[in-house]
Structure 1
Amino acid sequence: MTMRMGLVLLLALLLLSGCDTAPDASTAMNARQYARDVEQWRAQRLARLRAGDGWLSYIGSGRLRPGSYRLGSAPGNDLLLPAGPAQLGLLEVDANGNARIDGKPGSGATLNGHPLRQAELRPGVAGMQEASRIRLGTSEFYLVRMGSVLGWRFRDPGSARRRNFQGIEHFPVDRRWQVQARWQPYAQARQAVLLTSIGTPLPAQVPGEAVFEMDGRTFRLQPVLDKEALPSRQLFFLFSDRTSGRETYGGARYLYAAEPRDGKLVLDFNRAENPPCALTPHVVCPIAPAVNRLDLAVTAGEKFQYLPQ
């Protein structure tokens, strides 16, 4: 063999060797980057939960029916607040769910930066309407509407639940659960009714379904349009699976996905999260519909643990 032929063979072997190892190195690098991305998402989510206006700041809640309510933190009030002035005022709710408050002079409460007097209280509706918020120092009281239910919320950034929060447990990050699904849109969005964590109905729109394969089986998930994410039309999946009620929250886990492109979308179950009602008893949230109960153990995303009060 001539020296020239030997060099040609050596070069060919090096090229073949490079073809064998380069994809493995690239795959490992992509996997590390993906894990970092998921960890960053987790850190951002925990920061939102730990924020003064996060879910962990709620310390009081309840439902309201038509009638008159004396508000305050002192015993004897019709609606007993967990904190704030002894007497906040008189709240009146009519048969149509409209609310009006007559504030107690000297309570220290404010509305829109002014001392609380007589005022209409606009309830908050997720993604559609901001609530009229009564400020009580660093705390706040306001009304919310979910479907046909009118309720109240009390928020305190100094809540013990927020102070004692240690984080959320997760399944290990596994790239297998970053699933590419086929998107099958409906000709027109279908009307659906979700149930909430307290059993009340909640209207929703279903624009289509995501179809994916896992372990040789085909699964389908129907999203609803997330009003809070509009106009991006981000898809919002509420699902349960074989881990639900055991390792994960029984009612549902939530998963958001970007708008489909070219008939496909990504379901990244490593970013599956607990609903707000798994973090505090003072909010109401929709649970997974029967069609989204997967006969599959989704060992990815957030686990459920009881949080300190």
Structure 2
Amino acid sequence: MSNSYQVSDLSRWQAARHAELSAADSWLGLVGLFWLEDGLNAVGSAENAVVCLPAGPAFAGSLRVEGTRVFWQADGLEAQELETDRSGAPAAVHIEKLAFFIVEREGRLAARVRDLAWASRQAFAGLDYFPEDAAWVYEADWAELSPPLTMEVPNVTGELKAVEVRHKAVFTVDGQSVELLPMSESDREVFFVFRDRTSGKESYGAGRFLKALPAKNGRIVLDFNRAYNPPCAFTPFATCPLPPPENWLPFRVPAGEKKYLGEH
């Protein structure tokens, strides 16, 4: 267990989560996910549009896909290339009170549509948390895997992504040795996806996410009070990774976010 646990820090983190999810660009504002094909993809409110908007003009323009590149051509205007989320924040196209942007998933491209005025009709219901508990902050060994492990990680749509794992977090819970494998590592953070015995009951059924600061001197701090629901808990238009079997914890983790009970 880490001695660096601070309730005030947790309160700020929870406030930031609330602000993120109640904002105009929240996951709760998504109203569609449309997979694109090579060539022209019509965008509009017409029934035959590939990217079908819930309101607005019947035909607003077209998305032209050329391999991994996407060009937006609004009706009557010149085409412009759109940045996807491949390497950061994607470029958004605004159409009245709607916006769409392009995401790339395992070589496939899709347009996500967002209702920017969602909160004016349906206020964010807020999040419920397990009681704050410093006992769920662990200082784990950050063990190197040699050779690295390659996992096939599924997402909620059934697609698989190959993930190379170079380390594992090893810690002890009630005398039981536990391991967690990261989904990704960077010089800024380490990202985990896990399930536990609260999943599907008190917490979101498909598991929860957890981020940690990079390891120092072979140790990494896992603060389960900051375990949080994936985007799929708030919208059907996300493509969240599922926890690998190695990250199914055989006990309850009564810390972090509980199941979201609001409507989406």
- 1:91-119, Cα deviation, whole Å (9 max, x unpaired): 3335x3443343213xxxxxxxxxx5323
Alpha carbons 2:20, 2:26 under 8 Å: kept: yes
User: Looking at both structures, which has the greater relative contact order when contacts are Cα pairs under 8 Å and sequence separation is at least 6?
Assistant: 2
Alpha carbons 1:146, 1:202 under 8 Å: kept: no
Matching residue within 34, 47, 50 for 2:22: 50
The structure-2 alpha-carbon separation of the partners of 1:305 and 1:130, relative to structure 1 and needing over 3 Å to count, comes to: closer
Matching residue within 126, 131, 134 for 2:90: 131
Offset at 1:187?
A: 4.4
Offset at 1:298?
A: 0.7
CA distance in 2, matches of 1:269, 1:74: 46
Offset at 1:134?
A: 1.5
Say if 2:112 is the partner of 1:153: yes
The structure-2 alpha-carbon separation of the partners of 1:59 and 1:78, relative to structure 1 and needing over 3 Å to count, comes to: closer
For structure 1, the 5+ residue unaligned runs are 1-29, 106-115
Kindly indicate which of the two structures has a greater share of residues assigned to strand.
2
Aligned CA-pair RMSD = 2.4
SS in 1 for 2:6: helix
Counterpart code for 1:121: L
- For residue 10 of structure 1, what is the aligned residue in structure 2? none
The structure-2 alpha-carbon separation of the partners of 1:241 and 1:88, relative to structure 1 and needing over 3 Å to count, comes to: same
Alpha carbons 1:164, 1:308 under 8 Å: kept: no
- For residue 199 of structure 2, what is the aligned residue in structure 1? 244
Alpha carbons 1:223, 1:236 under 8 Å: kept: yes
Say if 2:81 is the partner of 1:120: yes
SS in 2 for 1:198: coil
Offset at 1:208?
A: 0.4
Stretch deviating more after TM superposition (262-271 or 157-166)? 157-166
Offset at 1:285?
A: 1.2
- 1:179-225, Cα deviation, whole Å (9 max, x unpaired): 12111023465443321111112233322011111111111001132
TM-score computed with the length of structure 2 as normaliser: 0.89
- For residue 102 of structure 1, what is the aligned residue in structure 2? 73
- For residue 34 of structure 2, what is the aligned residue in structure 1? 62
SS in 1 for 2:131: coil
Alpha carbons 1:171, 1:300 under 8 Å: kept: yes
- For residue 211 of structure 1, what is the aligned residue in structure 2? 170
Counterpart code for 1:37: D
- For residue 276 of structure 1, what is the aligned residue in structure 2? 231
CA distance in 2, matches of 1:148, 1:242: 34
For structure 2, the 5+ residue unaligned runs are none
- For residue 131 of structure 2, what is the aligned residue in structure 1? 172
- For residue 84 of structure 1, what is the aligned residue in structure 2? 56
TM-score computed with the length of structure 1 as normaliser: 0.77
The structure that has the greater radius of gyration is: 1
Kindly tell me the number of residue pairs found equivalent between the two proteins: 262
Kindly indicate which of the two structures has a greater share of residues assigned to helix.
1
Alpha carbons 1:59, 1:282 under 8 Å: kept: yes
Matching residue within 236, 243, 265 for 2:220: 265
Identity of aligned residues (%): 35
The structure-2 alpha-carbon separation of the partners of 1:83 and 1:204, relative to structure 1 and needing over 3 Å to count, comes to: farther
Offset at 1:120?
A: 3.1
- 1:108-155, Cα deviation, whole Å (9 max, x unpaired): xxxxxxxx5323334222xx1443322224532121101133211112
The structure-2 alpha-carbon separation of the partners of 1:84 and 1:124, relative to structure 1 and needing over 3 Å to count, comes to: farther
CA distance in 2, matches of 1:287, 1:218: 22
